[in-house]
Amino acid sequence: MIMSMCEENKRTGRSRPFVQIAVSNWELYCSRCPAGKKNHKDYLKFLAGLALGESIGKKRPNILILREKQLLEQEYVELFMGLWEEVKKYGKKGTAMLIPHMYVLAARQAGCGLLHLPLPLLREYRNQGRLSGLQTGTSIHSVQEAREAEKLGAAYVTAGHIFSTDCKKGVPPRDLEFLEQVCASVTIPVYAIGGIHEEHISRIQKTKAAGVCQMSEYMLGSAAMK
């Protein structure tokens, strides 16, 4: 599905795809929303609105990765399935593609065929034969990891962190030179992640990256206040 998105962009005349990926984060959402909205029911509505392009004053993302490390597996599956069903029932053309994070069960239960994994889990699950039928992406932090991910069958990689971010306080950013090196080292799509704001987009578009992943730009947007 990720690769087919790239092919569709090529077919329609774009020289290369540029994909906007939103990454969810419960803590960031809660930091901006009213106290009465700090619950999973309202969070699910917020995420559904984001995927449907109805709850934020900006372009709808092409992809939404539900990344909620604070949840146990069953809690995560319940949240993802709730989001999956909420978005699915509208059947709206152009709705953001939903990708579960870390839990194979969520991908299997939804039947979405997609999953994002940390690289150590990609290694483990691939060796265990648990990823049959799934297109799997992973996060990398070096050229060597990017090459390994491709050999493991990853459909794409997210490379970071590119710019300074509060999520990695005190850790120097890798910047665009690193991003270019990763792009040159693999044939699969590479998405920049880490400290990416709107003023960075034009610079990243000049690289060979397939797109960007943004967390705070979506989680801290005006929709979080509704």
Whether the model pTM is above 0.85: yes
3-state secondary structure of 53: coil
Number of domains in the chain: 1
Per-residue pLDDT of 87-130, as tens digits, reads 998 877 789 999 999 999 999 999 999 999 999 999 999 999 99
What totals of helices (H) and strands (E) does the chain contain, helices first? Answer: 10, 8
CATH code of the domain containing 154: 3.20.20.70
Question: Is pLDDT above 60 for 224?
Answer: no
User: What Å distances lie between residue 44 and 7, 24, 61, 181, CA to CA?
Assistant: 31, 11, 16, 37
User: What Å distances lie between residue 161 and 95, 121, 164, CA to CA?
Assistant: 27, 19, 7
Range of the domain at 70: 2-225
Is residue 16 within 8 A of residue 9, CB to CB? The reply is: yes
Per-residue pLDDT of 147-196, as tens digits, reads 999 999 999 999 999 998 777 777 788 999 999 999 999 999 999 999 99
